[in-house]
Amino acid sequence: MERLTSHREFVAVLKHRRRVSDRNIVLHYVVHPDRGGNTAPQRRMGLAVSKAVGNAVTRNMVKRRFRVLAKRYEHELPEDCDLVMRAKPSAAHASFASLDAQVAALFSAVQRKSERQ
């Protein structure tokens, strides 16, 4: 999965206002059905983990977990999708198994909602 790199790309996803959430994660997403051109469809992800989650060590641990889980469930997302995974402060204390179940549920919710559009 590619990464969202610039502030402009993050803002574009957050401005779209499509989101799903669970206890520890909020997932903002945009599906581009007509990005078109000669570019191949790609999924891009960005992470938002604020200082409210914890110190630098804790925030980096949460980001590592999010990257692993996103890679595990990326096949459930639509083909041409940008998403921002935002950690709630409770994510620092959540178990890996709990985050795993939440990411699986959120990614499948994004898939279901994008099919309805």
Helices within 18-80 (DSSP H only): 56-73
Q: Helix crossing, 96-116 with 56-73: angle to 10°?
A: 50
User: If the chain, 117 residues long, is cut into consecutive pieces of 10 residues, what is the mean pLDDT of each piece?
Assistant: 93 92 96 70 93 98 97 93 96 97 96 87
Give the pLDDT of residue 55: 97
Q: How far apart are CA 115 and CA 105, in angstroms?
A: 16
pTM: 0.90
Total domain count for the chain? 1
Domain extent, residue 59, equals 2-116
CATH at residue 18: 3.30.230.10
